[in-house]
Amino acid sequence: MKKPATLLSIFISFFVSAQTKLDSIQLVRNTVALYDLEFSDTEADSMLNALRFYKTLYKRMHQTLPTNNIPYPFAFSPLPFGNTIPTNQQKINWQLPNIPLPANKSELAFYSLPQLASLIKNKKISSVDLTRFFIERLKKWGDTLESVITLTEDLAMQQAKQADEELKKGVYRGLLHGIPYGLKDLFAVRGYKTTWGTTPYKDQVIDEDAFVYQQLRKAGAVLCAKLSLGALANNNKWFGGETKNPWNLKEGSSGSSAGSAASVAAGLLPFAIGTETQGSIVSPSTRCGATGLRPSFGSISRSGAMVLCWSLDKAGPICRSAEDDAIVFYYIKGTDGKDPGAVDHAFNYDPKADVKKLRFAYVENYFNRLPKDAPEWKVIDFYQSQGIEVKPIAFPDSVMYPYNIISIVLSAESAAAFDELTRTNRDDLIERQDRNFWPNGFRVSRTIPAVEYINANRYRYNLCKSMYDFMKDYDVLIVPTFSGRQLAITNLTGNPVVCMPIGFNNTGSPLSITLIGKLYDEASILAAAKVFQDKTDHNKMHPAKFMN
């Protein structure tokens, strides 16, 4: 982009040098028609002086360009007025199995977090040895998957040694003590590059530790790698390659939490942290056969993370089971007061919950679009076989969501977040330059009027209220992952979802199902997913190439 411009600035520039005043008036009328407005000649004439004034004001503002980390001070809350955030946190009784160290050490690659935690806590393996094991897997397979941006080996060994020393002194921080993991490379870690997956920022070092990283440090976890993301959190192409699906290396991992999903599914790490704005946990978790939790909006402070969209960005764990998701979420949730959209809500997960007490439903109008032998139907059959009533319901998504609000919100906020990138022409360095990627998207987004953005968010409030009221009757809503408009709706309303594998399609790629929960109730959908995974093998299937 050679010079950033909006339609407004284009016609301002034109009418300043227009041959006649009538030319300027006609240009104003033609331009506002693009915004579904109609002004008379008199009305357009009255605008001319103000338009010149605004152009001068904009130029003064642009003398200093805003960096990505400057906060947007108006915090979005998905909670309709008159309702309260649950804050009564109860003690969670995590269950650790008593297991021996496997004779075949390669089996550790796919051990669950409770299994690894048991080995660490009972000193059957040291954190140093476990960390070395996963570092070697990252070195062996990271290039194959193109999933690792920065290997943090020195830091990992330092943190692993500290975990072992603390354990010798009787200090045990909890289930993530000494457990290796990876971070999507949009979270800042002091002393390491935070590349955001794209050439303009590939050498960027941010002097800050992201809240998520700080929480995991407090929990005793060991950072082994900063993982790939599609450029500026879109898809799976980054400055170093295209992250692969471990089940089919000819296929991309999807994204944007590409390296997080691919690395976990291939057993390169026990868990990883991803983010979602509109599908970036759900989509790669589906493609790679991982289990992803997209928590309620605001559940985890995003301080120290790249901003794509202040009112839509969410951080969450990508693991190989819902129980692992629950464990990681417990340790990373909360706020540090540096993210105006973050809240500290209760998470009362029960590993032994009686899910028969939960109210299940499935979206019949989505399921009826599927063949009767589709794997998604077997999920309903499973829950019914456990004595759970699963009520068929109609989800009125076209009534709740008659127009594409998310495009206006995401486009406007992301263009603002990367205004500096556009205005300095460094957007030319981004890996994709097609009309469907960020550089052109940021340009197009400048035609979104502030009035329309604000009104889209007012309609969003109504959507949040409709969804909140709808979910009062259900604890677990089962949907085919990409059916209907629910993915856009739940990202806008902030409802939590769990996405988990349910088998494979006819080409051998994983399939998934999604469980939608009530706002701030991750516990119910995780408990429901755990029951399914405890009695089925879908999440215990691993890509053969990475089994040794």
Which residues are part of the catalytic machinery?
Answer: 184, 256, 280
Cβ burial 474-502 (10 Å sphere, 16+ → b, else e) = bbbbbbbbebbbbbbbbbbbbbbbbbbbb
SS3 536: coil
Question: Which phi and psi (to 5°) does residue 466 adopt?
Answer: -60, -45
Residues 293 and 84: their CA atoms lie apart, in Å, by 23
SS3 422: helix
Residues 324 and 531: their CA atoms lie apart, in Å, by 13
Residues 107 and 338: their CA atoms lie apart, in Å, by 40
Residue 437 tokens, joined: 């990627």
512, 501 contact by CB (below 8 A): yes
Question: Which phi and psi (to 5°) does residue 510 adopt?
Answer: -65, 150
Residues 507 and 248: their CA atoms lie apart, in Å, by 9
Q: What share of the chain is helix, strand, coil (3-state, %, to 5)?
A: 45, 15, 45
SS3 21: helix
301, 339 contact by CB (below 8 A): yes
- Choose among 138, 141, 144: nearest CA to 157: 138
